[in-house]
Structure 1
Amino acid sequence: MQQARNVTAHGPNMGRRELLAGAAGVAGVVAGASLLGLTPAQAVPVGDGVVKFPLPGPGSARILVTGDAGTGSSTQLAVANAAREFHAREPFSMAVGLGDNIYDSGPSDEQDPQFAAKFENPNAGLDFPWAMVLGNHDTSSVFPGDGSWLARGNFEVAYHASSPRWWMPSRYYSLRIDPAVEFFVLDLTPLAAIIPPVLDPQFSVDGPYMNAQRAWLDGALAASTAKWKIVCTHHPYLSNGGHGNAGSYDGLPAPFSGVAVKAFFEQHVLGRVNFILSGHDHSLQVLEPTTATKGTRQIVSGAAAKTSGSGGSGSSGSGGRNRTKALYESQDKLGFMVLDLTPSAANLRVVTVDPATGRGTQVFDQQLG
């Protein structure tokens, strides 16, 4: 078994035994136990015979940033092909998958063949860890994307045990891949569910699950000494795409407009991390920090299989108002992003993809810090 390095919820350079034991001495999840509300101290154990691709070591890391991919469609395959071509020239260290991993409604269990059809097979040859985020389409109940069967996300956590690529040891977790780089992967789906979790109240906005996640994140950010602190979510704080900004998602009234998501970002994230990486809108956006973000930069990469198709005009979900200044923005191009991180610099590239040929074109390249 290769060692899973630098899982910072447990301290750097910890192997599988320490990963499973956790800070509180928890021995992991026994067979058949509920995965509900897992914390990083209760990570899902890796199955026998499964060897995870190793996390990047110290020095530098090249991150494939992609989201809203899990369709199994020709467009997903085109983007994956462009990523493979990029990887052949400039190898990736790992990927971040920003949610909506299994369209349209999420998996039915941890052995659902959709994992192969919509993740493993399209990403063949992209053999490195994929840090995965839960999205609203991963936790659907009544209709696709309602995000209202929140326990359904546990199937994606359980899949961590059987895939060398798929990295989701808990519904929320952190990865410190280098002394200078730490990712904080969050699960904000309970705060954006279209149908409130009345039958599963532990997922309510102020229920035990979200309160535990808030406390964990506050502590993890306070303890982190990484230069690059990066939060990964499915739902963005800011977006010029059709879903719009948190607090005004899709032009819906509160509480369905993401007001709880907005409050979470403002109380626990903004000004404490360098970047927020999100999907949800099927677009590519490199947004400028605002007074509200307190220096944190929002990046949206959700065009790995679908596009918003608005020709780059964008929207805030409120008739085009409240748009955020962008260094780069496209609403009608498939693509992905490449984040190069060293102890002293963060550089971001945007690659758009021709759906007919699967060829990528680099359209943006800038050092962001």
Structure 2
Amino acid sequence: MQFRLRSLGLTITMLAISVAQIWWWHTPQAPWLIHKQPLAGQRICVIGDAGWSNEPALTIGSAMVELRCNQIRYLGDLVYPDGISSPDDPLIETRFLPTLKPALDAGIPVYLVLGNHDWKQSGDAWLEVARRHPLIHFPHFYYFESWPDACAFSLETTWFEKWYHLHRQGNWLESSKTQAQQQHCRLSLVFTHHPMYSTGSHGNAGEMINLGLKHKLVGHLDLIMSGHDHILSDEGEYQGTRQLISGSASINNDLGPGSDKQHFTRATHGLLTLDIENRGDRLTVDYRFYSVLGNREAPLITLLWQGTQHGEGVR
């Protein structure tokens, strides 16, 4: 009897190990959003960390309409300080939607990634929040988009910070990059919460992002847009990949020491715009950082810095 129990225990243990290995090495599926219209000619507005919906965030919300954004990318920390507990959490109405209301009223679509504060309670709740609002897109914690001329990867970086699904999202990313390359993506964009490089007070990406993600992005894709550090920053180009930060929609934090690649950094409330242009045989991105001050009825929008990044696609 004792031998049979030991055998059963060993069988169960081996089965659990096998299931764990399959889960770890399996390449999971995630949504692919297919856009029929080219990305060239569109303006993308990028904000991050607006989760207080305070007066600076509400003013930026109005500014995005004045700047005539065609779409908005919201890079996480959607509700401060601890995210939401369910899709019916009252904080959705008081700390998430007010910033976006001018854009949603104007029919401008919004695409989300989650930030570290959004995982303090229920990250899953945001999937249902997006399902309830037709103009808010969050089909999965990470997802891929393709246009006839460009591609984009929206990633979940808090999982890397906390070991969640470290290998699985990486497998999906490598598979998606290969397919994007086969489809001749001419411009590749990445939207994350945590930046790979930052001269803000939070600093560069942590150890697990360095180990599991950074090398899959830097040197392979064109532009990384991130929040998390509450600044506006052009961190410069690394192996052909440029890091831009727009995380100051409701909070500012201190600046760290500048790097030799850094071009511009400012601790002020504002946002980033990306104008996608078709120039000959390549796509280019004219990016601009704006400070947004004043009040929501009359936002003061000031151009602080601009630059250009040429698309090389996926390599």
TM-score interval, smaller chain:
0.7 to 0.9
TM-score, length basis structure 2: 0.80
What whole-Å deviation, never above 9, does each CA across 1:181-210 have from its counterpart, x for those lacking one?
A: 2110110112224xxxxxxxxxxx2x6x33
Partner secondary structure for residue 345 of structure 1: strand
Equivalent residue, structure 1, for 2:46:
65
Equivalent residue, structure 2, for 1:95:
72
**Relative contact order: is structure 1 or structure 2 higher (C-alpha 8 Å, sep ≥ 6)?**
2
Unaligned ranges ≥5, structure 1: 1-36, 44-53, 141-148, 194-204, 247-257
Q: Which residue, out of 124, 131, 136, partners 2:111?
A: 131
Q: Aligned residues: percent identity?
A: 27
Equivalent residue, structure 2, for 1:229:
188
Equivalent residue, structure 2, for 1:74:
55
* 1:1-369 pair list within 5 angstroms: 39-41=29-31, 57-58=37-38, 59-87=40-68, 92-126=69-103, 127-140=107-120, 152-176=122-146, 178-193=147-162, 205=163, 209-224=165-180, 225-246=184-205, 258-290=206-238, 294-308=239-253, 310=254, 314-315=255-256, 320=257, 323-331=259-267, 333-343=268-278, 344-356=283-295, 358-369=299-310
Query: Does the 8 Å CA contact 2:60/2:99 hold for their aligned counterparts?
Result: no
Q: How many residue pairs end up in the alignment?
A: 271
Deviation at 1:120, TM superposition (A): 2.3
Structure 1 residues 324, 83: CA separation in 2 closer, same or farther (over 3 Å shift)?
farther
Deviation at 1:153, TM superposition (A): 1.0
Deviation at 1:155, TM superposition (A): 0.7
Give 1 or 2: higher strand fraction.
2
Partner secondary structure for residue 286 of structure 1: strand
Deviation at 1:211, TM superposition (A): 2.1
Give 1 or 2: higher helix fraction.
2
Equivalent residue, structure 1, for 2:21:
none
Amino acid at match of 1:70: G
Structure 1 residues 155, 121: CA separation in 2 closer, same or farther (over 3 Å shift)?
same
Amino acid at match of 1:94: Q
Cα RMSD, aligned residues only: 2.3
Which consecutive segments of 4 or more residues in structure 1 shift more than 3 A? none
Unaligned ranges ≥5, structure 2: 1-26, 311-315
Look at both structures and tell me which one has the larger radius of gyration over its CA atoms. 2
Structure 1 residues 65, 262: CA separation in 2 closer, same or farther (over 3 Å shift)?
same
Structure 1 residues 56, 95: CA separation in 2 closer, same or farther (over 3 Å shift)?
farther
